[in-house]
Amino acid sequence: MIDLRSDTLTRPTEAMRAAMADAEVGDDVYGEDPTVNDLEERVAGLFGHEAALFTPTGSLANVLAVRSLVGVGQEVLCELSAHIARAELGAHGAISGLTMRTWTDPRGQIDLAAISALYAPDMGPFFVATKAIAVENTHNFAGGTVLPLADLQALRGWADGVGVAIHLDGARIWNAHVATGTPLAEYGAMADVLAVCLSKGLGAPIGSLMVGSFDAVAEARIWRKRLGAGTRQVGILAAAGLHALDHHVERLADDHAHAKLLAEAIDVDPATVETNIVVAHREDAAAFVAAAAEAGVRISAVGPRTVRLVTHLDVSTGQAQQAASALSRLD
């Protein structure tokens, strides 16, 4: 079976396991795990921010990041199929007491006209006040699409003008960085806070970070503990992340090439595939997923008529070619 359901399915490599086994550790709730501290400092530095906080999941990093900008009874604006709106099981409402309104773009892009039309200034007891805009780069459910830096800059300029903050869900910011050559710090400069994942294309078994100012991260550290995610000798996990940053970023280009190969096989224009995710439309997504499984390829349905294929570290070029030829025989 070639598993293209998600880039979360990777297993730690032997070298990553060795790095984990060798990690120096301490109690991270005391701030005394040197490997976690290294990872937090390194990731903050990569994005040009003051601080970062290690979290078990990207969802938690998103919750901590968004709640640092948006209070109870206030709102964040995001794209209709954003992960924070669609795939975090309502955490931002359930935990942070905030609401969301959305704009719609089939490719998950920033629509500044729509955003500025949705934007609501603070009008005291009359309307929900918009406190932040959340963008996703790359955009998962839109098919791994990249947000162009120019659009992020335009959003940043507009947001600074009206005084709202920006959250960047950068679960796959590494893919955007490799696909475009845009430095991570340039993406970092576009956002007040970010969430980034080590457990997607980078191949770590666990781990994400919330990135932001000293103050935002200090408060997030309290909320992380409050939510029961203050963990102890997790340097063994942070070591996997450090190893991934050293060895698994540049190779994402291979995943992107493999995704184009797969796109061609299932009649998706490879020019529309910017990173490691291919989204395709089929009359009956579940039937296509079942047929693919019969042919030895696991893919997922992300809607009744939408299937998704994701390339990753555990799919070699040979396997990508094999999957492409199996899938091309299906329709």
Ligand X SMILES: *Cc1c(COP(=O)(O)O)cnc(C)c1O
Chain residues in the site for ligand X (CB under 6 A):
57-59, 62, 83, 136, 140, 169, 171, 197, 199-200, 208
Nearest approach in angstroms of CB 167 to ligand X is: 11
Q: How far is the CB of 250 from ligand X (least distance, A)?
A: 21
Distance of closest approach, residue 248 Cβ to ligand X, in angstroms? 16
| Residue closer to ligand X, measured from CB, 44 or 197 | 197
Distance CA 112, CA 102 (A): 12
Closer Cβ to ligand X, 58 or 235, answer by number: 58
Give me the DSSP letters along 78-144. Answer: EETT-HHHHSSTTHHHHHH--EEEEE--TT----HHHHHHH-----TTSSPPEEEEEEESSBTTTTS
Nearest distance in Å: CB 23, ligand X: 21
Cβ proximity to ligand X, 136 vs 255, nearer residue: 136
Which three-class secondary structure state does DSSP give residue 267?
coil
Nearer to ligand X, 57 or 233 (CB): 57
> Closer to ligand X at the Cβ: 35 or 138?
138
**Which runs of E-coded beta strand occur in the chain?**
2-3, 51-55, 75-79, 99-103, 130-136, 165-170, 193-197, 208-212, 277-281, 297-298, 300-303, 306-310
To the nearest whole angstrom, how small is the minimum distance from the Cβ of residue 12 to ligand X? 16
Closest residue to ligand X, Cβ-based?
Answer: 58
Neighbours of 63 (CB within 10 A): 26
Phi and psi at 133, nearest 5°, equal -110, 130
Q: Lay out the sheet containing 306-310: strands in order across.
A: 277-281, 306-310, 300-303
User: To the nearest whole angstrom, how small is the minimum distance from the Cβ of residue 94 to ligand X?
Assistant: 14
| Spatial separation of the C-alpha atoms in residues 161 and 10, rounded to whole Å | 42
